[in-house]
Amino acid sequence: MAEKLSKTARASLADKAAQFTGKYCRTCGTAMVATKVIKSEGRPGGMYWVCPKDDQRIRI
């Protein structure tokens, strides 16, 4: 009988690149990067998709 993998082990085996593809900037078309943003400039903090070329943000 096969051993059951823990939730952590299954998550580490997943294809990480597939999770972070498919988000593109609406203004320039560049691939966006998932990152944690701190609260600044009157904007709320949290996890966002951020465009590396401009300050376009999409909340995750």
Cβ distance 51 to 35 under 8 Å?
no
Residue 59 token pair: 């909340």
Residue 51 token pair: 């465009």
Q: Quick one: residue 5, left, alpha or beta (phi over 0 = left, psi -120 to 50 = alpha)? A: beta
The per-residue pLDDT for range 7-53, each reduced to its tens digit, is 777 766 665 555 555 688 888 888 888 888 788 778 788 888 888 88
Reported pTM: 0.51
- Using the predicted structure, report yes or no on whether residue 56 has a pLDDT greater than 60: yes
Task: Decide: helix, strand or coil at residue 54.
Answer: coil
